[in-house]
Amino acid sequence: MTRLQALFGGTFDPVHYGHLKPVETLANLVGLDRTILMPNNVPPHRPQPVASSAQRKKMLELAIADKPLFGLDERELRRDTPSWTSQTLQEWREEQGADKPLAFIIGQDSLLTFHTWHRYETILDYAHVLVCRRPGYPSTLPDPDRQAWLERHLTHDPEALHSLPGGKIYLAETPWYDISSTQIRERLARQQSCHDLLPFAVEEYIQQQGLYQ
């Protein structure tokens, strides 16, 4: 099989098991060689993160320290302009060459708003899109035109992700993790433990930094 690499973008404020564990299963399901976590700097669609860029980067480093599947890409943190996924994937495609299979990972909730992303149609020109399940979000799109777009690009065959450089959407049967960064920030603000929601080293760092209090 050709080596398949994926980028996984997010705010990671903070990173949690709902980010890491579905991707570990996904890697086994589709033969993912490497997943590069890419924290964004100025998320165009949402309020600014609570933790600084340096703190979010440090939490990611701690979370993946013993996980060879994962790497970290800081390019969006280095930019002071909005983190447009289409632009980042275009750059990544140019670096990797035209033929290499590349993918971008999102959760089910992000698929529902995907059509609002800047130049969303072009994303499939640069990479496949791999979707992890997330509790509370349907796997079909409410708008018939969007659903038709989804079905045009859908594949159920992981082999297709290796034989083509990009252009396919794969809805992965990953386990559900009912975890969000919002829920973690709220729990920490109430002085509640989050040890079942994120890696210990990340929770320890959050305490040391006095984050989300």
Name the residues that contact ligand ATP, by CB under 6 A.
10-13, 18-19, 22, 106-107, 109-110, 132, 134, 177, 179-182
Half-sphere exposure of 50 (CA within 13 A, CB side): 16
Judged by beta carbon, residue 107 or residue 166, the one nearer ligand ATP is 107
6, 69 Cβ separation under 8 angstroms: no
Taking the least distance from each CB to ligand ATP, the nearer of 13 and 203 is 13
CB of 107 to ligand ATP, least distance (A): 2
Shortest distance, CB of residue 39 to ligand ATP, whole angstroms?
A: 8
Q: Closest CB to ligand ATP among 48 and 98?
A: 48
CA distance 168 to 155: 6
**Placement of tokens 């989050």 in the chain:** 194
Instruction: Kindly state the tokens that stand for 203.
Output: 């929770």
- Measured between alpha carbons, how far is 172 from 188 in angstroms, rounded to an integer? 31
CB of 179 to ligand ATP, least distance (A): 5
- Tell the smallest beta-carbon distance from residue 99 to ligand ATP (Å): 26
Rounded alpha-carbon distances, angstroms, from residue 122 to 14, 99, 125, 126, 166: 29, 17, 5, 7, 11
Of 21 and 93, which CB lies nearer to ligand ATP in the complex structure?
A: 21
